[in-house]
Amino acid sequence: MSSDSALTSTKSAYVPTQEEEPPNPSTALLSFDTDSSDSTNPPQKSTTTILFITMVLVTCVALSAASAFAFLFFSSASSSASSNSLELTARPLNKLNHPVVLLISSDGFRFGYQFKTTTPNIHRLIANGTEAETGLIPVFPTLTFPNHYSIVTGLYPAYHGIINNHFVDPRTGEVFTMRSHEPKWWLGEPLWETLANHGLKAATYFWPGSEVHKGSWNCPKDFCMYYNGSVPFEERVDKVLSYFDFPADEIPMFLTLYFEDPDHQGHHVGPDDPQITEAVAGIDRMIGRLIDGLEKRGIFEEVNIIMVGDHGMVGTCDKKLIFLDDLTPWVGVPTEWVQSYTPVLAIRPPPGTAPSDVVAKMNEGLKSGKVENGNYLQVYLKEELPSRLHYFESDRIPPIVGLIEEGFKVEQKRTKRQECGGAHGYDNAVFSMRTIFIAHGPQFGRGRKVPSFENVQIYNLVTSILKIQGAPNNGSLTFPSSIILPAHQ
C-alpha cells in the first residue's frame, strides 16, 4: 500500500442551472403627445385621439395575450417542477428492513451503447435514477480484471495487485491468470470481505476475485458462485432475485451480478457491428427481467441498483499494427522480454540490461519515421508514466510500459494474418474506453445527471449507502455525498 500522497480524490464540480427571468416589460414602449398646442386644427387632434385609442386597445390585447401565455407557461413549468421536485433526502424503506445494494456489471458496455437500440429498461433506470452524464471512467489499464477489482476495492491496480489480466510475479516467477484464486494475488479489501468483516451477508453471482477465500470471506455456498460462463443470463438474474425471498433479516445487503456481454461480441466484431446492437438489447432484456422480479416482490423502489461496465471498446484492424521486430536496427526486443503486447506493452528486460537504455533506443526508432506506425507508440520507464495513470507503485508492473494510441496494436513480427475486431486496455483518458454508471433506488435522485468520475469511487459509495466503515482506499471519503441523497433525519 502506498503512502497517503499516492491516494487521490476526485472532486466533482456542480454548476447549478439558472433559469433567466423574463425581462421586465418596458413602461415606455410608445410615447404619445396628447396635448397638442395647435387648437385651431380639430381634425388633426381627432385623428391623434383615434390613433391613441387604437394603439391603447392593441396594446391591451397584446398584453392580455402575453399574460395568458405567461400564465400557461409558468403554470406548466410549476407543475413540471412540482412533479420532478428536487429530492432532498433518501426515500424510506417499507418492506426491506435494511439498505441493499445490487451491483451489476455488463462487461465491455461502452458509453453510448445505450443509444444503439431501444433499451427501455436501462432508460427506465436512467430516467428515474442518477447517471454519469458522459460515462464512468475506468482505471488504467482499461482491462476486465484490473477494473472489476478496482470497482469493489476502491484501489488502483498498483495497490490491489491485479495489474493486468495476465502477469508474472517478478520474485517467484509465478504467472497470474484469470483462474488464479490464491489470496496472495488479490490485495486490498473487496466489498464482500468488508461486509463479512462486519458480520453482514453478501452474495456474489460472478465477479473477478469473489471466489478468493480471503479474510472473513470464504465464498459461502449458495452465496458465492464460481465462474461459469455457460450459465444462461436468465438463470443468473433469477438466482439473484431468489435472495429477496429470504426472511427480511437474511436478505444479503450487498449483491453482485455479472454479464459477459457485450464485451464478448466486441472483441470479435468491434463496437459498431449489428452483433453489438443485439447484445445490448439482450442486456436490456435482462435488466427488464430483474425489474419485473423486484416489482412482483414490491421492492423495486427499495433496492439500490448500481449498473456499471468495466471499460469501453474500440475497433481495431491489422493495418494499425506496430511490429517490435522493426526496431531491430536500434534495439532487439526478444519475445521472452515481453509480458504483454496489446493494448499495454509491458517489457521486463533481463538483469544486466538497463531498462532506461532500452526505452531510449526504442523511442529513437519509433520516432525515426522508419518504423511503420511508430509514432502511435510511446515507451516509458514506468516511473515516468503520466501520474494520472497511477500505474507505478507495484513491483508486479514491469519496468518498461508502452502506451499505444487508440485502435492500434503491437505485435512481435509481421504475419499475413488479416483480421478486424475490437480491443480495450488503452489509456483511460481515451473516451472510447468509458463505460456506464447508472444508479436507481431510494438513495439516488430521480432524473439526475452527475459529472464523470473514476470507478475507484464506487467502493466508498456502497459503504456509505450501507452505513458501514470501509477499508482504506484511493477513493474520496467525501465523494458519496455528491452522489447519494442524505438519510432522512
Where in the sequence numbering do the catalytic residues fall?
A: 144
Residue recorded with cell 522493426: 326
For strand 101-106 and strand 304-308, is the pairing parallel, antiparallel, or unpaired?
Answer: parallel
Find out whether 465 and 90 touch, Cβ atoms under 8 Å. no
Task: Tell me if the bond preceding 262 is cis, omega within 30° of 0.
Answer: yes
Rounded-to-integer distance, Cα 118 and Cα 162, Å = 36
Find out whether 289 and 242 touch, Cβ atoms under 8 Å. no
Residue recorded with cell 484490473: 146
Burial class (CB in 10 A: 0-12, 13-18, 19+), 271: buried
- In angstroms, the Cα distances linking 249 to 77, 191, 236, 239, 354 are 44, 19, 22, 18, 59
Rounded-to-integer distance, Cα 299 and Cα 291, Å = 9
The kind and range of the H/E element at 307 are: strand 304-308
Q: Report the candidate in 324, 317, 334, 328 with the shortest Cα–Cα distance to residue 412.
A: 324
The rounded radius of gyration (Å) of the Cα atoms in the chain is: 30
Find out whether 373 and 329 touch, Cβ atoms under 8 Å. no
For strand 409-411 and strand 202-205, is the pairing parallel, antiparallel, or unpaired?
Answer: unpaired
Rounded-to-integer distance, Cα 274 and Cα 265, Å = 10
Q: Which residues contact 191 (CB under 8 A, 6 or more apart)?
A: 103, 152, 153, 202, 254, 459, 462, 463
